[in-house]
Amino acid sequence: MSYYILADRFLLEDGEKKGGYLKVENGKFDDFIDTVPEGSEIEDWSGYTIAPGLFDTHIHGVNGYDIMDGTVEAVQAISASILEQGVTRFLPTTLTSSTSDIEQAIKAITEADEQALPGAQSEGIFLEGPYFTEKHKGAQNPDHFKTPDLKEFQEWQKIAKDSIVKIALAPEREHTMQFIKDVTGTGVQVSIAHTDASYDCCKQAVSEGANNYVHLFNGMSGLHHREPGVVGAALTDNNVYAELICDGHHVHPDIATLASEIKKEKLILITDCMRAGLMPDGEYQLGEFKVVMKDGIAKTEFGSLAGSTLQLINGVKNLQKWSGKPLYEIWHKGSLSPALSLGKDTRLGSISKGKVADYVVLDQSLDVHATAVEGTIKFKK
């Protein structure tokens, strides 16, 4: 199956292309051409912009559902809901909970993926916890924090049928360095999160294989000129990635812009969205905690930010507005940078010949009018 996309503008890795036709063949991007063969099928998006599909590597839930519900229905509903926000790929994300709850969530994600997801496609499971420390716990339940256990992780990976691609932990916990070395040796990415580790401890964790910092500035020790801490370790290492929640609440817009300038293509836009996303203000559940959302901001009863209600398309809009940078540059922090961080950039993340034809149709306000997965339009306004 092949067709051609006609649009006013295409967002490419190195800039923007004005006009022309982009060929899609067998679910993958092909070449740009100026004229199409007679009788060709054309998707006419004159007046619109075509951008690569967004990739949310850290999302717990949305629209009333959460991955920790532990049901196939929840995973499928999340997949469908985020498609309307331009997200074509995601990592279903767990959080710290009991062993049985984590295992049930893993089973549900695996089963839902095997049954075929209706919208955005899963690129593997992200375990956020339970190997954290209490000082920067955020909305993670410290009752379930523990030391990394390779045998436990291997059992989870067995349940997941080897689909766990990332795990977040606090590197200062005992035996963590060997754990990082062991799991990264199997191809699993390790992220640093909910931690009070020192700068040197973080650097050691990176030397053992960790390659990412979860929701930069949140859930970690801050920057000080004599003790750079976790934030300092993230900002001064050009070889590691850092996630950022650009909702204007988790990080001040000017600091978000500064982080973007420093990290460049190593900055990953995420949502950390929980079930209250796309829902009205009120009371919700995040894991074992009650959460109150007011004016779109979700907090636990003890005052901590509880994930976010951000949609990734809005994170892109925000950072582009705050930074004043070209749209294509900021957009790829939500598409290509996530793919690069997971070693999936040869398949995903940008409009390039041979890559999967995941794309988003945007109007002049950057609102999503259609989203395609592997060349098939799955959402259309």
State pLDDT tens for residues 163-192.
999 999 999 999 999 999 999 999 999 999
Residues 242 and 266 both lie in one domain: yes
- Beta strands 65-66; 61-62: pairing state: antiparallel
At 317-358, the pLDDT tens digits run 999 999 999 999 999 999 999 999 999 999 999 999 999 999
Element housing 212 (H / E):
strand 212-213
pLDDT of residue 214: 97
Do the domain assignments include residue 346?
no
Instruction: Give the global pTM.
Output: 0.97
Residues 17 and 113 both lie in one domain: no
Residues 88 and 182 both lie in one domain: yes
Range of the domain at 81: 54-341
Distance in angstroms (rounded) separating the CA atoms of residues 268 and 320: 14
| CATH number for the domain that contains residue 37 | 2.30.40.10
CA 38 remoteness from chain centre: 41
Total domains in the fold of the chain: 2
Q: Give the residue numbers annotated as catalytic, written as ranges.
A: 272
Residues 32 and 75 both lie in one domain: no
Distance in angstroms (rounded) separating the CA atoms of residues 5 and 2: 10
Residues 34 and 59 both lie in one domain: no
Residues 100 and 188 both lie in one domain: yes
Residues 47 and 59 both lie in one domain: no
Which ranges of the chain have pLDDT less than 70? none
Residues 74 and 214 both lie in one domain: yes
